[in-house]
Amino acid sequence: MIRVDSIAALTEQLQHWKDKRFTLGLVPTMGFFHEGHLALMRKAKSQCDKTVVTIFVNPRQFGPQEDLQLYPRDFEGDVAKARQQGVDLLFSPDPQEMYPDGYQTSVSVAHLSQGLCGTSRPGHFDGVATVVAKLFNLVRPKVAVFGQKDYQQLALLQQMNSDLHFGVEIIAHPIVREEDGLAMSSRNKYLTPLQRQKAVGLFEALQHAAGCISETASVPASILITAVERKIMDIEDCVIDYIAVVDALTLRPKENAEPGDVIALAAFFGGKVRLIDNITL
């Protein structure tokens, strides 16, 4: 596996592969790999000649009160895991390489960045769209793989890809879950053993709500939201950020939930660890 941390070295290596007409698959990440990340890498590998993984804890997507400094990192462990998956190139720039002095440009996806996680994380999705646009331009991949756990991020990046004519084939990878159903996340590491045990309640609440809707009928969204709310309010040490039933493409809140809609939620454990999850009805 080739490791580069400068844009110049990345561009030089990619040029060799492009000269040979190799197709590139991109998996942008912030590192601290778990099985969810590795599944994205395997997917990219199955679709392209060469797989490029990026590790960059993007400061622009963290708010002033958020956990940028505390974001978990294990670079050497990540290198070993990526190598094991047969990743061809690992790009791990530092913030100065991505945002040199005088950097000014930001990408903003107007509507899809609002609501849901956008409400409690203002500016977050501008940071995500900006860094992914830069990575798309640097790598020019044929495909890029993103996980469905970050549902709003995925929808917004699909919109950006279409609006800005990147022409990347974006692959949505299903949520990878722990054995008990908790969605895998780098932030799970911050849960105490008891919180970790209880955190599966988020997925159970979503499953419960999904079970309230039949394949044909529509149900008032408020009924599903209340059902999820009740379950989560029973989880010790857990505070709801939001629960919403939204259209799968536009992410607009639905009055009546139908099969194909998405229930998305975010909740805090111990006041600090913010977990997200979603389920398609």
Q: Which residues are catalytic?
A: 37
Which residues lie closer than 8 Å to 33 by C-beta, 6 or more apart?
Answer: 74, 77, 78, 81, 82
Residue type, 69: Q
Q: How far is the CB of 150 from ligand PAF (least distance, A)?
A: 5
The token pair that represents 233 in the structure block:
């309010």
Task: Choose the stretch contacting ligand PAF; rule: CB under 6 A; options: 28-36, 106-114, 189-197, 249-257.
Answer: 28-36
* DSSP state, residue 45: H
Does 188 contact ligand PAF by CB under 6 A? no
Mark residue 210 as left, alpha or beta (left: phi above 0; alpha: psi -120 to 50; beta: remaining): alpha
Answer for which of 26, 29, 117, 224 binds ligand PAF (CB under 6 A) is 29
Does 85 contact ligand PAF by CB under 6 A? no
Answer for which of 47, 61, 85, 152 binds ligand PAF (CB under 6 A) is 61
Answer for which of 132, 145, 257, 276 binds ligand PAF (CB under 6 A) is 132
* DSSP state, residue 48: S
| Distance between CA atoms of residues 198 and 101, nearest Å | 44
Answer for which of 47, 51, 58, 85 binds ligand PAF (CB under 6 A) is 58
Give the CA distances from residue 55 to residues 86, 130, 154, 174, in Å, rounded to whole numbers and listed in that order.
16, 15, 18, 21
Q: How far is the CB of 58 from ligand PAF (least distance, A)?
A: 4
Complex with ligand PAF: residue 29 or 228, whichever CB lies closer: 29
Closest C-alpha among 180, 189, 177 to residue 272: 189
Does 78 contact ligand PAF by CB under 6 A? no
Q: How far is the CB of 255 from ligand PAF (least distance, A)?
A: 30
